[in-house]
Structure 1
Amino acid sequence: MSPHSILTRLLVAPAALVLLGGALAACGSSGSAEEGKPLLRVGVQKDGIRSVLTQAGLLEDLPYEIEWSEFTAGPPIIEAAAADQIDVAWVGSAPPIFGAAAGAAFKVIATVEEQDEKTDSILVPKGSDIRSSADLKGKKIAVGKGTSAHGHLLLALESAGLTLDDVDPQYLQPAEGLAAFQAGEVDAWSIWDPFVTQAVNFVTQAVNEDGAIDITADEGGSTDPYLAFEIASAASLEETDTRESIQHFVGLVRDGFEWAQENPDKWGEGWASESGLPVSTTSEVATKKASVVGPVTEEHIASEQQLADAFFEAGEIPEKVDFSTVVEPGLID
């Protein structure tokens, strides 16, 4: 069985069919580069990457053309990179682990480290009898399989002496999870920003007029695998020109985040326009999500290895993963 098929099987749950191979939609490019310029295929989510680079003026006069493809979450991005459908993208902590377990052809090339060390949350309606992770036992929880929120749920349950077998996970993509949460079809939702801020601020009418509550707000890095990564297609890294374009682009992302630390409001405005989310949501997230892009360190590898081991021990991946084997050093200082 091919790595592509294995990864699909790892990520597709009976509760929700995740359309991986067909999940990407090209945004803003016809797929052919301007004459004389190479093409760089960049995967994005509702992550604000395009807007931070645009608002910072970093997409002007590039030595390559960019083809943007938008995905619902990190797992289909890993599959697209492994299938040589994209060159580079940003994903959370868990997708590279699931990709490594499937033998997918990709590499981790840089770390994106959020300074607040808080990426994911477990939300419940205000008024719920769920007050902590321990109260999740027997509850129905929406979460994206193979995402950072999946890792957060796993670690939060472990911190309360529980396992995934003690709850009823509903493997749903963000839009489906939001709908289920709004409709009261699940008891809790494990999700990342900007969806956390959107839910806390704007789910109020559907869930409870007082809003949604983050029951893991104070746990920080102890249960939140907050590291994110720039990843690249293994095939793309073998092509000299594409490798240079990837290296240049990751440098732009680093510069963009440095600009965003001083200009969160401008980033928030651009992010709202790009994503369709309210500017009040994106501006709030931009203010608290200052990130630093840098090389993958031994500390980062150790943190990911702990998460990989937790996924394996929980039976969520079929074999142990050595995270260091999917790291490609040297692309960013």
Structure 2
Amino acid sequence: MTSTSTRPGRVRRSLALLGALALATTLAACGGDGDAATSDSGKPVLRVGVQKDGIRAILKQAELLEDLPYEIEWSEFTAGPPIVEAASADQIDVAWVGSTPPIFGAAADADFKIVAAVVERDSHSDSVLVPEGSDIKSVEDLKGKKVAVGRGTSSHGMLIKALNRAGLGLDDIEVNYLAPADGLAAFTSGAVDAWVVWDPFVTQAIQEADAVEIAGGAPDDNGLQFEIASSKSLEETDTREMIVDFVDRVRQGFAWAVDNHEAWGKSWAEESGLPESTTTVVTENKKSDVGPVTDEIIDASQHLADLFTEAGELPTKIDFASIVEPGIVK
């Protein structure tokens, strides 16, 4: 897929917004003493980890946060890897992450489980971006180049798969492991030759910085993401029931968004400070379905994990199926 067909637009707005999108604003999280926390109103509290990913906006706009039998305590993170760490430390109960953070979490013996799959219908979560006018036209052209990517993120997974398809490995490029805000700065300053990142960063970089996508979507990206949960939270009966309810609300939210992506985009813009011209493009692209983690998903994820192990990026081989918790979503 090319940037002109999948991520259109050349809207000029402040690039500071993209940097702001990547900043962590981790909110206070309840400690994990084995019991569900209780709010001042007497309701139990569900601790939900988010990024600037539009999850709150989609649930709010779809009216799925009304009349909750519990209160939600939101904690915001820059990317998936610290979310997995927070779940492992029992600082959050449930969260949405990309395809790769659970793999790195499993390799680090993190104490969490995958409870549902979120699959984008266009199979396009991440993209390889280069500056306009770059002589890099394909993944093969990345050999010997400086490439920014977030370590352990879905973009890291997309990159290793794209390189593998091109007969290359991570050793054939100069990898700069950078968080989104730092990746943006390196990309726009010319400190790196390419940037591998996810939406909404992709769309905004194309709109604001004239970035060009040279790879994205199948076969290097399957649009796969996950809902994860703290193992301790799943073991606590009341919290597990809240997680089941919340994940079902996320499922309903994405189903609602299929026919209401513009309303979702507007709400996401209000929440995040991103231009509505960006968020409405992203929500159109992010039509997704939430469901159980199938054998096919496990096989694809195991293949990705094996690629990382073979590349020396993981300390040990993992068994992806062992981190899947069935029964949370039907």
Say yes or no: TM over 0.5. Answer: yes
Determine if contact 2:127/2:198 at 8 Å carries over to the other structure: yes
Determine if contact 1:110/1:295 at 8 Å carries over to the other structure: yes
The one-letter amino acid of 1:75's match is P
1:226: Cα distance to partner? 2.2
Aligned with residue 247 of structure 2, among 229, 247, 250: 250
**How many angstroms apart in 1 are the aligned matches of 2:276 and 2:40?**
33
1:159: Cα distance to partner? 1.1
- Paired position in structure 1 for 2:307: 310
The answer as to 2:283 corresponding to 1:286 is yes
**Corresponding pairs, count:** 302
Aligned with residue 161 of structure 1, among 167, 172, 181: 167
Is the alpha carbon distance of 1:188 and 1:128 closer, same or farther for their aligned partners in structure 2, counting shifts above 3 Å? same
What is the DSSP-based 3-state SS (H/G/I as helix, E as strand, rest coil) of the residue aligned with 1:262? coil
The answer as to 2:327 corresponding to 1:326 is no
- Paired position in structure 2 for 1:44: 50
Is the alpha carbon distance of 1:75 and 1:54 closer, same or farther for their aligned partners in structure 2, counting shifts above 3 Å? same
Determine if contact 1:34/1:65 at 8 Å carries over to the other structure: no
- Paired position in structure 2 for 1:215: 214
- Paired position in structure 1 for 2:5: none
**How many angstroms apart in 2 are the aligned matches of 1:249 and 1:79?**
20
The answer as to 2:92 corresponding to 1:86 is yes
- Paired position in structure 2 for 1:181: 187
Q: Deviations over 1:55-83 (max 9, x none)?
A: 11110110000000110000000000000
1:307: Cα distance to partner? 0.3
1:87: Cα distance to partner? 0.2
**How many angstroms apart in 2 are the aligned matches of 1:266 and 1:112?**
20
**How many angstroms apart in 1 are the aligned matches of 2:270 and 2:176?**
31
1:225: Cα distance to partner? 4.3
RMSD: 1.6
**How many angstroms apart in 1 are the aligned matches of 2:180 and 2:222?**
18
The one-letter amino acid of 1:215's match is I
**Aligned structure 1 segments of 4 or more residues deviating by more than 2 angstroms:** none
| Map 1:68-107 → 2, pairs under 5 A | 68-107=74-113
Q: What is the TM-score of this pair, normalised by structure 2?
A: 0.89
Greater mean deviation of Cα atoms: 90-99 or 271-280: 271-280
Aligned with residue 142 of structure 1, among 118, 137, 148: 148
- Paired position in structure 2 for 1:15: none
- Paired position in structure 1 for 2:16: none
Q: Deviations over 1:249-294 (max 9, x none)?
A: 0000000011111111110011111111111111001012100000
Q: What is the TM-score of this pair, normalised by structure 1?
A: 0.88
**How many angstroms apart in 2 are the aligned matches of 1:258 and 1:158?**
34
- Paired position in structure 1 for 2:138: 132
Unaligned runs of 5+ in 1: 1-22, 204-210
**How many angstroms apart in 1 are the aligned matches of 2:28 and 2:129?**
31
1:32: Cα distance to partner? 6.0
**How many angstroms apart in 2 are the aligned matches of 1:46 and 1:308?**
26
1:28: Cα distance to partner? 11
Unaligned runs of 5+ in 2: 1-23, 31-36
Aligned with residue 276 of structure 1, among 273, 293, 310: 273
Determine if contact 1:151/1:225 at 8 Å carries over to the other structure: no
The one-letter amino acid of 1:226's match is G
Determine if contact 1:92/1:229 at 8 Å carries over to the other structure: yes
